[in-house]
Chains A and B, each alone.
Chain A
Amino acid sequence: MKQFITFVRKEFAHVLRDRKTLFILFGMPIMQILIFGFALTNEVKNSKIVILDQAKDIASQSIITKIEASRYFEIERAVMNETDINDAFKRGKVKMAIIFPANFNETLLHQNKAQIQVIADASDPNTANMLTNYVSSIIQDYQQQLNTTLNVPYRIMPEVRMLYNPQLKSAHNFVPGVMALVLMLVCVMMTAISIVKEKETGTMEILLVSPFKPVLVIISKAVPYLFLSLINVFSILLLSVFVLDLPINGSLFLLLAESTLFIITCLSLGIFISIKTDSQQVAMLISLMGMLLPTVLFSGFMFPIENMPIPLQVISNIVPSKWFYIIVKGIMIKGVGFSAVWKETVILIGMTLFLFAISIKNFKIRLT
């Protein structure tokens, strides 16, 4: 035990000596949570659109005013014809074109049926879809206004309540997601590199000939990173609550315990990678190039996992941050207790044990 503590101390000294790296390790997650917490949003707003108003009458003008007032749209200069619309789309500046036919108001009032043409740049299908939805509801709104004065009967009025997040803030979704993403990558990368580095520079040999158990050598390398990551968790939570205005509706203690578990899972993954590789470059390529995009996609905070084809849903299960994201979202935002996240917790524990077991099995005491 005394030996172990000595080793851990040595590793701490190693980590703490390198001020530059330390600064990066603490500064990076903070910056990322701040930037992404404020900037990322699934909402589509301020989309530039062009309006071709051939009517220029009361109805078209009041619909345009309504569109202008909504935060979803920003109206660009008016274009003249279809080729101009095509050009604007190709330059990537506008997302949608709305065309009012001539005599719009007259047709609407006399024939009771008028048409508006809406052309979306569907190279981005999601935005196209949302914008078309927004325009439709604005126009429907206008139509309803016309109709209330006429008192239309048999109306169903949906009353919508937004649970957990009444203001529909994106941070409620993205902060837990970014937290799961950043913690995972930082933890995996740190351990993976630090052990490989010893191999590469040859100092691993010296450690291995010491009378100290090889497994403990590796664990003692992971301990300082556990502490560093916990400090990161603290700073992220402080930022989330005091800067990003997120609630912690559940138990803070449970949240910290789960974070510790998740960090240990990631550190074990890092250890496994470092045991399987023998140069920093390879370890890095695997942990960053190989994991960055898959982690973003399979955590579930960007794209709903239940939308994916079944084989990918199966793959997503092996990404630890998916489970941590569910846990953080549950405890922080929904305020649920352990009984709601025990399954995810068990999965993370299982992953940790598994990674540890195969790491030990693969760990070679003699280097070649």
Chain B
Amino acid sequence: MRIIRFLLQKEFSQIFRNKTILALIIVMPVMQLIILPLAADYEVKNINLAVIDNDRSPYSQKLISSITSSGYFRLVNYNSSFKESFKLIESDKADLILEVPHNFEKNLIRENGQKLFIAVNAINGTKANLGGAYLANVIRNYNTEIQLQLSGPSKINYYPSIEIASSNWYNGTLNYKVYMVPGILAILVTMIGGFLSALNIVKEKEVGTIEQINVTPIKKHHFILGKLIPFWVLGNVVFTVGMIVSWLVYGIVPLGNIALLYGFIGVFLLAILGFGLLLSTFCDTQQQAMFIMFFFMMIFILMGGLFTSIDSMPDWAKLISRLNPVSYLIDVMRMVVLKGSGLRDVLPNLGVVAIFALVLNTWAIINYKKTS
């Protein structure tokens, strides 16, 4: 116990001595937490639309005005050729092209049906999908309106129609920031814990100070614990600061139990720190440790369900994300903060992360050799 106390003293004074790093550890996450959620917005609006109206009839005009007044679309070009509109798509200035054919009105009324042509820049799936869906929706509504108008009021109730009463739970205003902030905070805490712990032992190796520790009667697990605890405390500090920032800036107060969040973060930090320590026992230089950590960090972030949905991934990728501790944290953060999930709901996640913590730390202790 006394040995650990001395080790802790050493580690903490090392951390506090380096003011640059300490500032970076606190300031960088805070800045990112304030700025990044504003950038992470999937809400699709301002879809740039180029319209080619070959008909120029009252009907086509009305259709176009109902599209532009729907609020999703921004008319960037009107009535040039398809070729010109296509150039706009090439240069990313337009996302969709709507072409109204000649005789649109005539055919619609006389022939009982008329086609409309829509071209979508389909490189970016979200915009293509949602933009196309919105456009189709506006057109459908317009169509119903016309059908009612032309068929006369007596037939309003003539065709069976299904009404969809949709309601959105937990986030009625569909505010994307509320969803992103807890996820981004989870990532920032992960990065702090992962990077610092991965570099730490390696640095002692590189500078040579580890030899000095190795010749002392310090036990392996003492050493690992001495490394683990300071970063664990730091991780909790960063998390606390992050929670305060998300409350002050975004007004997010967890619906669920805050103690539950801290309990989960506590276990999670053990897991991610254990991972960092394990990595550093494998590496010889800080450079290597950094690259490997970077590799895993990218996977943790991009496959943790922060930005894209895990359900939509292929099965092998789902398996990878099941081995990704961060995906459990992101999940739990969102569950507890947004839906007020309780201990029983997050217990499976907690269990898995606890197993990660146990395995990774044990492995790190075994793999750390006192003799080089």
Using a CB–CB cutoff of 8 Å, the interface residues on chain A facing chain B are 18, 20-21, 24-25, 28, 31-32, 35-36, 38-48, 86, 89-92, 95, 108-109, 112-130, 132-133, 135-137, 139-140, 142-143, 146-147, 150, 152-166, 168, 170, 172-173, 181-182, 185-186, 189, 193-194, 197, 279-282, 284-286, 288-290, 292-294, 296-298, 301-304, 306-309, 312, 315-316, 326, 329-330, 333-334, 336, 340
Contact = CB atoms under 8 A, between A and B. Distances in A.
Contact of B301 (A189, A292, A312): A292
A1 B151 CA distance: 85
A72 B342 CA distance: 29
B164 A168 contact: no
Contacts of A309: 38
A152 B164 contact: no
Contacts of B142: 156
B294 A185 contact: yes
B358 interface: no
Contacts of A114: 160, 162-163
Contacts of B342: 90
B132 A160 contact: yes
Given A42-B124, A117-B165, A165-B123, A92 B295 contact: no
Contacts of A193: 286-287, 290
Interface stretch (B171-179, B258-266, B359-367): B171-179
Interface stretch (B3-11, B84-92, B210-218, B223-231): B84-92
Contacts of A46: 311-312
B167 interface: yes
B143 to A, nearest CB: 5
B160 A147 contact: yes
A119 B169 contact: yes
A293 B32 CA distance: 8
27 contacts: A32-B299, A35-B299, A35-B320, A42-B124, A45-B312, A90-B339, A90-B345, A91-B341, A92-B331, A116-B163, A123-B334, A123-B335, A124-B334, A126-B176, A155-B112, A155-B113, A156-B114, A159-B117, A159-B118, A161-B117, A165-B128, A166-B122, A282-B21, A284-B199, A285-B24, A312-B39, A340-B91
Contacts of A140: 140, 162
A163 B122 contact: yes
Given A156-B143, A157-B116, A48 B311 contact: yes
A292 B297 contact: yes
A160 B119 CA distance: 6
Given A35-B320, A160-B132, 8 more contacts: A90-B340, A123-B339, A125-B175, A140-B162, A281-B203, A288-B294, A303-B307, A334-B90
Nearest to A91: B345
Interface stretch (B41-49, B50-58, B242-250, B270-278): B41-49
A286 B89 CA distance: 37
B20 A282 contact: yes
A108 B163 CA distance: 10
A92 B328 CA distance: 11
B187 interface: yes
A146 to B, nearest CB: 6
A309 B335 CA distance: 27
Given A133-B130, A193-B286, A280-B286, A294 B90 contact: no
Interface string B121-143: 11111111110110111011011
Contacts of A36: 302-303
Given A92-B345, A125-B176, A137-B133, A39 B317 contact: yes
B120 interface: yes
Interface in B297-316: 297-299, 301-303, 307-309, 311-314
A89 B308 contact: no
Contact of B179 (A125, A286, A326): A125
B175 to A, nearest CB: 7
A172 B157 CA distance: 46
Contacts of B150: 153-154
B67 to A, nearest CB: 12
B28 A285 contact: yes
Contact of B164 (A47, A118, A292): A118
Contacts of B172: 122
B113 to A, nearest CB: 5
B125 A160 contact: no
* The 9 residue pairs across chains A and B that have the minimum distance between CB atoms: A122-B168, A39-B317, A125-B174, A162-B122, A123-B338, A165-B122, A42-B125, A126-B42, A42-B126
A307 B46 contact: yes
Contacts of B157: 112-113
A293 B301 contact: yes
A360 B140 CA distance: 61
B115 interface: yes
B162 A303 contact: no
Contacts of B124: 42, 173, 301, 304
Contacts of B135: 158
Which of B142, B150, B291, B311 has the largest number of chain A CB atoms within 10 A? B291
Nearest to B321: A39
A35 B147 CA distance: 49
Contacts of B313: 39-41
A154 B122 contact: no
A56 B268 CA distance: 45
Contacts of A20: 283-284, 288
Contact of A35 (B91, B125, B168, B303): B303
B113 A130 contact: no
Given A24-B295, A48-B311, A297-B36, A135 B116 contact: no
B317 A162 contact: no
Contacts of B329: none
A339 B120 CA distance: 23
A172 B166 CA distance: 33
B353 interface: no
B198 to A, nearest CB: 10
Contact of A340 (B90, B168, B290): B90
A118 B166 CA distance: 4
